[in-house]
Amino acid sequence: MSGGLDSAVCAAAAVAEGHEVIGLCFDWMQPARREERQAATAQAERLNIRLHTMRSYVHADKSMHAAPGESGPRVVPGRNLVFLALAANFGAERDVAEIRIGCTAADAADYRDCRADFIEALSALSPVPISAPLVALHRDEVRRTAVALGVDLSEVWSCYAPRERGVPCGACNSCLQ
Ligand SMILES: [Zn+2]
């Protein structure tokens, strides 16, 4: 759970289906880590699920170098691959039945590791099956699903690089979506 809309919807849908859910929140020293964790915590509390923070390091010197307020995607190569590998290890140790990631159709163009074929291929190799239930949904469909599931949109944080603490930049890809 990144605090963003997609993972919030993914978690809310799993809870609505009656699953016992553990949210994973990654702290990889990203610029928005505080805001993301705060939003994810609020979402997890609302869903009454446990949130587990995982510290990891992802090399992102090149991809995240854009300044706050600068446009464009922040494509960190293999970021979700790293996160899913860590989630697979965590899940296998805890006899988790499935790992779910909130990739959507909006991610497919820029993020290789958000595409359906990538998730399927990785799932086949993982000790715990991986699925991306929102992978075919476009932005408006994700929003509609969010509303239907009672996700509080005021609790969502999406910006990659806040201008200052708690203030979205308004220009990065995530803000513009
Ligand atoms: Zn932004």
Q: Taking ligand 1, which is a single-atom ion, which protein residues have CB atoms under 5 Å away? A: 159, 168-169, 172, 175
* The pLDDT of residue 70: 72
Which residue matches tokens 């899913």?
84
Q: Flag whether the pTM goes above 0.85.
A: yes
Nearest to 9 by CA among 53, 31, 40, 54: 40
Q: How is residue 157 written in tokens?
A: 């944080």
Residue 111 CA to ligand 1 centre (angstroms):
17
Distance 161 CA to ligand 1 centre (A): 5
pLDDT value, residue 61? 77
Residue whose C-alpha is closest to residue 39's, from 128, 156, 166: 156
Is 56:28 a contact under the CB 8 Å cutoff? yes
Domains of the chain: 5-159 (3.40.50.620)
Calculate how far, in angstroms, residue 156's C-alpha sits from the geometric centre of ligand 1.
13
Q: What is the mean pLDDT of each run of 10 residues along the chain (177 residues)?
A: 97 98 95 95 97 92 71 81 97 98 93 95 98 97 96 92 90 85
pLDDT of residue 72: 67
Span from the CA of 35 to the centroid of ligand 1 (angstroms) = 12
How far is 39 from 47, CA to CA, in rounded Å? 12
CA–centroid distance, 68 to ligand 1, in Å, is: 7
- Cβ atoms of 5 and 156 within 8 Å: the answer is yes
pLDDT of residue 57: 86
